[in-house]
Structure 1
Amino acid sequence: MHTAMRIILVSAILLNAATCAAADKMKPGLWEMTTKSDAMKAMPKIPPEQLEKMKQMGVKMPDMQNGAMVHKVCFTKEMVDQDKPPASGREQHCQNKSFNRSGNTYTAEIVCESPDMKGTGTVKGSMTPDSVNSIYDFNGTSRGKPINQHMETTGKWLGSDCGDTKPFPMPQKK
């Protein structure tokens, strides 16, 4: 996956996870997250034999379905008990700013200021105990090239047992 796309996707997932957790209505456990974007629709399909080789090497790829990436995410009780979104780690090159929530809705601004990625994004969404929805838009540059990204993420709670799905690493503010 292209580095800029990975950075944006990880930032969006982190913010979505954190904002859902912040409303303290999200259930801990296993969630299925589906992310759609124009960039994902344009991605070439990986041949099954290459996917199998990657799996054998220990690379876990999300499922691609109809231009959407579907993956399982485990949220611990500690994650859903947080009151604020976590700071993005160095690898994300972005910071969550202007986080606001009202009832079951939230908005936030994401600012990226690194040599590889510059720009701003907004996220808005809503949640219930069993579901989350968010819309993420980002405009800026990645390695000097313009990037304009729109993503829509939906999530549904699958159950309290995460099975072999490990919790998503979420860097904390210091």
Structure 2
Amino acid sequence: MEFAMSLYRKMIPLSLLSALIASLAFGNAYAAGKMKPGLWEMHMQSDEMKNMPQISPEQMEQMKKMGVKMPTMQDGGMAVKVCVSKEMSEQEQPPLAQKQHSGCTPQNMKQNGNEYSMELVCDGPELKGIGMVKGSYNGSDSMRSSYDFKGVSHGKPMTQHMESKGKWLAADCGDVKPAGVMPKK
């Protein structure tokens, strides 16, 4: 149990940033009207994830019983499934352009053709610092991005580089629920 909680504490900033980066990457696709609605999978890799100890199925089960939802870890990275509703795909603005529960706010979002970039400014209790996201879309069903962050997590210095790729899986999201949808303009 001690190992599981220690690992969980290490993964909190990584999970927060990973989920936020996945959502932000999707946000720029909305602005360009390029994203297919349905189930998407984001796969994120970083050196921090490669160096994390493996969690046994028993430890994973213990964490689930404690109410901790862990992302799928595979190939030295993290995989997250995201549902993009039809309404989300039709928005003219990124759905996460406001400050998030993590304390991070996207700023200076730019789009040029299939390429995008933005800064991520974090000033929350768990995470403080600045990150830069750059990415590109290949049609409406795949994307790639890179992310660099420098700051402090739980009072400790943190530098992170992450590579992400996303792909459309299916029109039906199954049991994966869409993230919150902002009202249309």
Which TM bucket (shorter chain)? Answer: 0.7 to 0.9
Give unmatched runs, 5+ long, in structure 1: none
Measured against aligned partners, the alpha-carbon deviations of 1:12-59 in whole angstroms (never above 9, x if no partner) come to 122112112222111000111101111111111111122234456665
TM alignment of 1:8-157, pairs within 5 A = 8-55=17-64, 60-85=69-94, 86-127=96-137, 128-157=139-168
Percent identity among equivalent residues? 49
What is the DSSP-based 3-state SS (H/G/I as helix, E as strand, rest coil) of the residue aligned with 1:52? helix
TM-score with structure 2 setting the length: 0.83
* 1:167 aligned residue: 178
- More displaced 10-residue stretch of structure 1: 130-139 or 113-122: 113-122
Give unmatched runs, 5+ long, in structure 2: 1-7
Give, in whole Å, the separation in 1 of the partners of 2:104 and 2:154.
14
Q: CA RMSD in A?
A: 2.2
**Is this contact kept in 2: 1:37–1:150, CA < 8 A?**
yes
Give, in whole Å, the separation in 1 of the partners of 2:18 and 2:181.
14
Give, in whole Å, the separation in 2 of the partners of 1:88 and 1:35.
23
* 2:3 aligned residue: none
TM superposition shift of 1:93: 0.5
Give, in whole Å, the separation in 1 of the partners of 2:71 and 2:114.
28
**Closer, same or farther: CA 171–14 of 1 in aligned 2, 3 Å:** farther
Number of aligned residues: 173
TM-score with structure 1 setting the length: 0.88
**Closer, same or farther: CA 101–9 of 1 in aligned 2, 3 Å:** same
**Closer, same or farther: CA 13–88 of 1 in aligned 2, 3 Å:** farther
Measured against aligned partners, the alpha-carbon deviations of 1:127-171 in whole angstroms (never above 9, x if no partner) come to 121101110110111233111011111011111111111113467
Give, in whole Å, the separation in 2 of the partners of 1:76 and 1:26.
10
What is the DSSP-based 3-state SS (H/G/I as helix, E as strand, rest coil) of the residue aligned with 1:91? coil
Q: Which amino acid aligns with 1:66?
A: D
